[in-house]
């Protein structure tokens, strides 16, 4: 649980922390698109400079980011090796049955590695500097246009924020149930796979039952406080778009332009 950095929030006062969640989400999604514009080492270099600049401006130490990449490293390496081993073209260094190590293969592998790592780093930077609830607000605001297509955006975001709010409660409760079952003599994590799965039943059933009770109580509370789904509601949480937000989107635009320029300058298309 402690290993996963993605999705956690580190409180701080950096430039990134004060950005509006909408601009951060937009920029992050846009960056992932921009990455696919890169096709040679000059463009990748530019992307790396940009990524490191973003990480630096988030004021979170680099070791935290490295810890965030580590759990996904095997997946990345696996993909990279598949690319390296099965792509032909260019100078061929080694050929053995279907396995070829070629110039193109190595290059592609390196590029894919860069893409993966950069995407993870940038999305980690967003979640590390944004409170989960602000992320929910940001997602809600960005999805708002979908309301025209009859997508229940407000309901979805309410569900999202209630789920987020109950994560610590459910974790606490899981711990309590586990301790209670331990006190009754259940041993967790011992025995064969089947036995281990069986010991999970006395955890899941009470948790499930209590979640249902919780949901009912919650629904009552919401109803008493006047919540009607589909009715127009105002919002207490206000998002404010500042100069920094416009600036950060302009930086993204600048990045795109320089990417396209570098691409045409160096490869001709």
Residues that bind another protein (CB under 8 A): 132-133, 161-162, 164-165, 168-169, 172, 213-214, 217-218, 220-228, 231-238
Find, among 141, 149, 160, 140, the residue nearest to 7 by Cα.
Answer: 160
Nearer to another protein, 14 or 210 (CB): 210
Residue 233 backbone phi and psi in degrees, to 5? -125, 150
Q: How far is the CB of 98 from another protein (least distance, A)?
A: 53
175-193 burial, b at 16+ Cβ within 10 Å, e below that, comes to eebbeebeeeebeeeeeee
Between the alpha carbon of residue 39 and those of residues 33, 43, 100, the distances in Å are 13, 7, 22
Nearer to another protein, 146 or 162 (CB): 162
Q: How far is the CB of 240 from another protein (least distance, A)?
A: 11
Distance CA 30, CA 24 (A): 10
Q: How far is the CB of 162 from another protein (least distance, A)?
A: 7
Residue 233 neighbours by CB under 8 Å, 6+ apart: 154
Q: How far is the CB of 178 from another protein (least distance, A)?
A: 18
Between the alpha carbon of residue 245 and those of residues 17, 26, 143, 248, the distances in Å are 11, 10, 18, 5
Nearer to another protein, 71 or 152 (CB): 152
Q: How far is the CB of 234 from another protein (least distance, A)?
A: 5
Nearer to another protein, 8 or 237 (CB): 237
CB-neighbour burial class of residue 212 (10 A; exposed 0-12, middle 13-18, buried 19+): exposed
Nearer to another protein, 132 or 202 (CB): 132
Q: How far is the CB of 154 from another protein (least distance, A)?
A: 10
Nearer to another protein, 217 or 265 (CB): 217
Q: How far is the CB of 193 from another protein (least distance, A)?
A: 33
Per DSSP, the three-state class of 94 is strand
Find, among 250, 20, 241, 16, the residue nearest to 139 by Cα.
Answer: 20
């Amino acid at each position: 649980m402690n290993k996963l950095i993605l999705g956690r929030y580190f409180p701080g006062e950096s430039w990134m922390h004060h950005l509006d969640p909408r601009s951060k989400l937009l920029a992050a999604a846009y960056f992932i698109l921009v990455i696919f514009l890169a096709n040679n080492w000059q463009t990748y270099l530019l992307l790396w400079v940009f990524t490191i600049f973003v990480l630096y401006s988030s004021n979170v130490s680099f070791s935290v980011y490295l810890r965030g990449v580590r759990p996904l490293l095997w997946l990345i390496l696996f993909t990279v090796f598949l690319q390296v081993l099965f792509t032909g073209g260019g100078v061929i260094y080694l050929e053995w049955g279907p396995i070829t190590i070629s110039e193109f293969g190595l290059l592609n592998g390196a590029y894919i590695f860069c893409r993966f790592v950069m995407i993870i780093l940038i999305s980690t930077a967003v979640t590390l500097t944004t409170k989960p609830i602000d992320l929910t607000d940001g997602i809600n605001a960005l999805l708002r246009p979908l309301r025209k297509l009859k997508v229940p955006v407000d309901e979805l975001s309410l569900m999202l924020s209630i789920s987020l709010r109950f994560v610590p409660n459910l974790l606490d409760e899981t711990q309590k149930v586990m301790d209670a079952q331990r006190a009754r003599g259940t041993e967790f994590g011992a025995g064969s796979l089947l036995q281990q799965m069986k010991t999970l039943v006395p955890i899941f059933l009470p948790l499930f039952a209590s979640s249902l009770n919780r949901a009912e109580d919650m629904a009552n509370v919401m109803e008493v406080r006047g919540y009607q789904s589909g009715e127009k509601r105002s919002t207490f949480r206000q998002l404010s778009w500042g100069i920094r937000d416009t600036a950060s989107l302009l930086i993204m635009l600048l990045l795109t332009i320089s990417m396209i320029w570098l691409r045409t300058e160096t490869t001709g298309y």
